[in-house]
Amino acid sequence: MKTVAVVGGGVIGLSVAWRLAARGCAVTVYDPDPGSGASHVAAGMLAPVGEAYFGETELVALMRESARRWPAFAAELTEQAGLDVGYRTDGTLLVARTDDDLAELNRLVRWQASLGLTPQPLRASELREREPRLVPRLRGGAFVADDRQVDPRLVVRALRSLVRVEARAVTDLSTVDGDVVVVAAGCASAALAGLPVRPVKGQLVRLRGPVALRAVIRGYLDGRTVYLVPRADGEVVVGATSEERLDGAVTAGAVLDLLRSAVELVPDLAEYELTETQAGFRPGTPDNAPIIGALRPGLVVATGHYRNGVLLAPVTADAVADLVTGGPDADLVKPFGPDRFGGRTG
């Protein structure tokens, strides 16, 4: 039986550990506070194209493959843990306020259509039929039925119940034992394994009210974008800034912008309770794609998932399990190996 040490207990590390344990490996996850990093802040949108940029073809293919795996991943996890993970299939409403916003939104819609997805263009009146609480003054938008969501905090809770976690911080890989060590430490992977992963700050707010929104809403407002991710219990996650900053401060300006955008899209949200303001760090890489593969014999990395860690968890976990124990999914992550940066470490 192989022993595996997974360094990092976010959604990626825990998913990898769960999949490896299912292959008969003896797995320990090392993290002083599992799920307290990017996974605690993430909204949980499973939008295989919504968070990618034009031209990121290989990344989009991986995102779509992972999206395809999410229903089974969520079902298995829910069944094995006996815990709900908040998997919802209500889709995403893309909404635009001005002609320029609609032009930007339509570029995304055309790109999605060129990839074989089927976003459905909607007039303002049709948007409000799908979500009557949207502000009336909108130029138009689209409905993306294929988008899904989960609640990352519930995913972490379910995964934690199924894997062995040792609550300690690892600052030196020589202090963990295993036939294989997997580094899944998000931003900390830079110092641990010399990888070009940098923190990209994101600020979010969470609101809570009596009525849940019907779908995720991604708004284009006078050149700004904002997403509203509703949970069944009335929570709405409003995100997110994207800042090349290292401080973890929640700033008045960011909270103001997020709340203003949210209320401009759905005026009723002004009456909701403001329950959390947060700043977290996405593990960004030079090309926005994750770093998954063997760094050297016995050392595998699965990190740098930037804006897409929750979406990419199933395919990452399956691929790492195959890298460690053998199997075809290892091929899926060949374009994302650590060697592609030519030894660059920052």
Token pair in block for residue 18? 């769960």
Name the strand (E) or helix (H) holding 27.
strand 26-30
Contact flag: residue 284 with ligand GLY (CB under 6 A):
no
Contact flag: residue 307 with ligand GLY (CB under 6 A):
yes
Distance of closest approach, residue 285 Cβ to ligand GLY, in angstroms: 13
Distance of closest approach, residue 227 Cβ to ligand GLY, in angstroms: 7
Contact flag: residue 293 with ligand GLY (CB under 6 A):
no
Residue ranges in 66-125 that form contacts with ligand GLY under rule CB under 6 A: none
Taking the least distance from each CB to ligand GLY, the nearer of 38 and 300 is 38
Taking the least distance from each CB to ligand GLY, the nearer of 187 and 323 is 187
Distance of closest approach, residue 202 Cβ to ligand GLY, in angstroms: 5
Contact flag: residue 219 with ligand GLY (CB under 6 A):
no
Candidates 31, 51, 131, 264: give the one binding ligand GLY (CB under 6 A). 51
User: Between 243 and 262, how does the x/- string for binding to ligand GLY read (CB under 6 A)?
Assistant: --------------------
Give the Cα separation of 323 and 9 in Å (integer).
19
Q: Going along 189-248, which residue ranges are E strands?
A: 198-208, 216-221, 224-230, 235-239
Q: Which residue is nearest to ligand GLY (CB)?
A: 307
Which alpha helices (DSSP H) does the chain contain, by range? 11-22, 38-41, 57-81, 99-114, 124-130, 152-160, 189-193, 252-265, 309-325
Beta sheet of 224-230, edge-to-edge order: 120-122, 140-144, 92-96, 216-221, 224-230, 235-239, 198-208, 273-284
Name the strand (E) or helix (H) holding 279.
strand 273-284
Taking the least distance from each CB to ligand GLY, the nearer of 139 and 282 is 282
Contact flag: residue 59 with ligand GLY (CB under 6 A):
no
Give the Cα separation of 344 and 196 in Å (integer).
6
Residues in a beta bridge with 299: 181, 296
Stretch that binds ligand GLY, among 43-51, 83-91, 145-153, 284-292 (CB under 6 A): 43-51
Q: How far is CA 337 from CA 14, 290, 302, 333, in A?
A: 20, 8, 9, 7
Distance of closest approach, residue 3 Cβ to ligand GLY, in angstroms: 33
Interface residues with ligand GLY (CB under 6 A)? 43, 45, 51, 202, 239-240, 282, 307
